[in-house]
Chain A
Amino acid sequence: MPEVAIQTQKLTRKFGDLTAVDGIDLQVAAGQFFGFLGPNGAGKSTTIKILTGLLAPTSGSMQLLGVDFAANPVEVKRQIGVVPEGMGLFERLTGSEYLKFVGRMYGLDRLTTQRRSEELLDFMQLADRPKTMIADYSHGMQKKLALAAAVIHGPRILFLDEPFEGVDALAAGALKALLARMTERGTTIFLTSHVLEIVERLCSHVAIIHKGRLVAQGSLEELRAGISGEAGTKTTLEQIFLSIVGQDGTERPQLEELSWLM
């Protein structure tokens, strides 16, 4: 049986009367490229924040690599890397300074931190502006730097919240190659994205959250098997997503109401 990287039991988060995450039971095996999908406001970012320690759950528990998060948060955080919503960069540092800072925060020694920073900056094509502050980076450059910082300590689980948003096709290609190599080497990647094509191409397993509840979870093949598509054609992730999330018919906008626009 494969090692379990992420496991949650009845994970719940409430904001006043609103239940953003409602009793989620997630299970992600080690080495999986896991896509976490859902419509806007479904609870994706809240879940990823809870899993990375940025938000406390109202109830429920979670274990990462078999370690209980609540009991030993520092040990868990040593094993994970995060690109949070908004990237979490210190904008008054240069790219190199930021990577060195993060490396040391994760407890890497000085020489290793310095060597890895140089290599990551080269790989991400950020090395030609050594004195530029992060505040002056473009959005795509900041995304690449945030990813570099998330992997500098060689995490066993990588959490990525919309990693390809605002990244050009060229940079996205390099990032995808890097992520694919990491999963080959056993890293678990937990990714949220609105772009279903990216998730379909990269992820082996998917979970769909809707109104705070987990409505589907499994490999792409398992999800396809549960959907009746046209004979002879392969069901796309978009079709699966729409059939699960929009199945009650209330989710789709009623175009007839906008007749003046037609």
Chain B
Amino acid sequence: MADVTQSISLLEQIRLVSALRWRILRNSMRKKNNRLDLIGMIFTGVFGGILVLGLSFAFYAGAYAFLSQGRLEWMALLFWGIFVFWQVFPIFVAGFGANFEFRTLLRFPLSLRAFYIIGLAYGFADFSAMASVCWLLAMTAGATAAKPGLLPAMLLVVGAFMLLNVTIERLIGSWLERLLSRRRTRELFLGLFILSMISLNFITPLMQRYGASARPAFLRLLPYFAWLPPSLASSSLAAVTRLAPAGFFLNFVILLLYLVLFSALLWRRFAAQYRGEELSETAAPARATVRPIAAIDDGPDRLSLLSPQVAAIVRKEFCYLTRNGFAYLTLLMPPLLILIFSMNFAGRHPTVGGRGVSAEMFFPGMMAYLILILMAPAYNSFAFEGRGIQTYFTAPLRFREVFLGKNLMLVSVLSVEIALSLAMLAWRVGLPSAHTLVATCAAIIFTIIGQLTIANWSSLTFPRKMEFGQMRGQRQSGMAVLVAFGSQILMGGISAVILFTGNWTGNPWLPAEAFAFLAAAAVSGYFASLDALTQLAEKKKEVLIEALCR
């Protein structure tokens, strides 16, 4: 029989879980990169603290003002703000969360009740929860200052509201965890998430166009919101202020019913996890199929001009591109962005406001912006290689061939993207003058090839592993981001000086000539750098393998 004679208390279990999270954070600081990350975390913490504190004053002032001025219905706005933040913010920051699986606690002798309560307590440790609790307490203080008699009701309502919020947040988190446990759904979700983020850009033009006609429909929907938790919390307090106990009880009981309903749902989810719900990454075994004999492809090799190694890497990169939902979205972005920006600023298709800019400015500006976006992944180009990186060091090839293959694929994709974007720009904004067009094209070659050399160095020096379609823990290397930022500022600065000089001398073809010269220099510099990068790869291989094979 095991020596465990009695269960440890719930508080002790919560203390142990907190200590575990603290030790995970502390031990991760042993690595230099993680220590650098800590500096970022401290900055974020200070900034977040200031934000929370500032908004706490705002919530205090808001609650005080609404109650002292008798504008009781406005309290709903405060509750709604907190509710939306508490539920939506954790989804947005899923990628920055600590790498800790709450479910791993299940290996220990916990009762379902303890598992449920620890799960809820764990929910209060999120930034969104802590910030929201601060704001709710500030609201309570503000309301009490305005109407001291409201304190007991306020404490009841705010307590129930907190519990309801943490329950819903844990429920959403639990469902998301289940949904995202499979790679395909994870990628689909990530795609939808990014698309929804992009689509936010359309709100302004859509509001300008359809805002007035959509308003009555929105107003018709408004009464239904009164039956949702934030409005119920506000209505409960309003009823107390109006000395209408029946109204208070009705609204508060409905709020409690929500709490019971969501608690039951969360209990169901946690019970499924407690019973050992399988959230497997591995696909179910496929039915054995009789495979037709594959036809040997003896047609001409479309990449026969390249060495077998470079051709193999180009093909592999293409396969990876077609299986990376995020890359698809990155490729979709440029034409979409041109559409969005041209809806707001274009000359040929002016917006409702009638603003517009000339193609002379819009054309090079837009291309610079697109290169900024499309070149960013090149600064950590081995991010998705994983353990496969070892193949590059065990295969009989020089590392310059790896870079040639990867860069060739990137340049091909960029060429297609830029061609598409140019066509889109010509349609939406119109073509600029010949000298601007030539200067822009030469500048594109200069900035892309010039950046490739720096990006290859950055990829070797500051590698960071990333997983396809995964949100948790997906951060670029901080140093790679800084290098990208620095080199883009450098390129942008050089381009600005050239454009200014062209304008100052009154010679419209000067920028085109200067950029053509720089493009030729960048191409020469790129090929000259490959041997040096091969030597660097040999020196950095241990760093690279360690970072990507984790």
Contact = CB atoms under 8 A, between A and B. Distances in A.
Contacts of B395: 77, 102, 105-106
B394 A82 contact: yes
B492 interface: no
A88 B283 contact: no
A246 interface: no
B268 interface: no
A260 B3 CA distance: 9
A89 B319 contact: no
Contacts of A135: 183
Interface in A118-169: 118, 127-130, 132-133, 135-136, 138
A184 interface: no
B32 interface: no
A105 B541 contact: no
Nearest to A79: B396
Given A111-B296, A128-B289, A132-B286, A105 B390 contact: no
A136 B384 contact: no
A114 B297 contact: yes
A102 B391 CA distance: 8
Nearest to B304: A110
A90 B391 contact: yes
Nearest to A139: B282
A66 interface: no
A54 B391 contact: no
Contacts of B390: 54, 82, 84, 86, 88
A136 B283 contact: yes
B41 interface: no
Interface in B390-404: 390-391, 393-398
B400 to A, nearest CB: 12
Interface in B178-204: 183
Residue among A80, A90, A115, A138 with the most chain B CB within 10 A? A90
Given A89-B388, A111-B298, A74 B396 contact: yes
B387 A118 contact: no
Interface stretch (B227-235, B308-316, B426-434, B525-533): B308-316
Given A56-B542, A77-B394, A88-B394, A104 B549 contact: no
B288 interface: yes
B468 interface: yes
Contacts of A82: 390, 394
Interface string A86-109: 111111110001001110111111
A132 B283 contact: yes
A75 interface: yes
Contacts of A75: 396
Given A89-B387, A92-B384, A111-B298, A54 B396 contact: no
B23 interface: no
Contacts of A136: 183, 282-283
Contact of A54 (B294, B312, B541): B541
Interface in B302-349: 308-309, 311-313, 315-316, 319-320, 323-324
A78 interface: yes
B5 to A, nearest CB: 14
A193 interface: no
B396 A93 contact: no
A108 B307 CA distance: 11
Nearest to B286: A129
Contacts of B311: 104
Contacts of B387: 84, 86-89, 91
A195 interface: no
A107 B282 contact: no
A7 interface: no
Interface residues of B, number: 45
B282 A93 contact: no
A128 B396 contact: no
Contacts of A55: 541-542
Contacts of A86: 387, 390, 549
B30 interface: no
Contacts of B542: 55-56
A53 interface: yes
A90 B388 contact: yes
Nearest to B309: A105
A190 B269 CA distance: 50
Nearest to B311: A104
B396 A104 contact: no
A101 B283 contact: no
A55 B393 CA distance: 9
Given A91-B388, A128-B286, A133-B323, A105 B297 contact: no
A132 B286 CA distance: 9
A52 interface: yes
Interface string B371-413: 0000000000000111111110111111000000000000000
B319 A88 contact: no
Contacts of B294: 114, 118, 130
B101 interface: no
11 contacts: A54-B545, A74-B397, A84-B390, A88-B387, A88-B394, A90-B320, A92-B320, A93-B320, A105-B313, A110-B301, A127-B291
| CB-CB nearest 3 A-B residue pairs | A88-B390, A90-B388, A104-B312
Interface of A: 52-56, 74-78, 80, 82, 84, 86-93, 97, 100-102, 104-111, 114-115, 118, 127-130, 132-133, 135-136, 138, 260
Interface of B: 3, 183, 282-283, 286, 288-291, 294, 296-298, 301, 308-309, 311-313, 315-316, 319-320, 323-324, 384-391, 393-398, 468, 538, 541-542, 545, 549
Given A54-B393, A97-B316, 6 more contacts: A55-B541, A74-B396, A74-B397, A90-B388, A102-B391, A107-B308
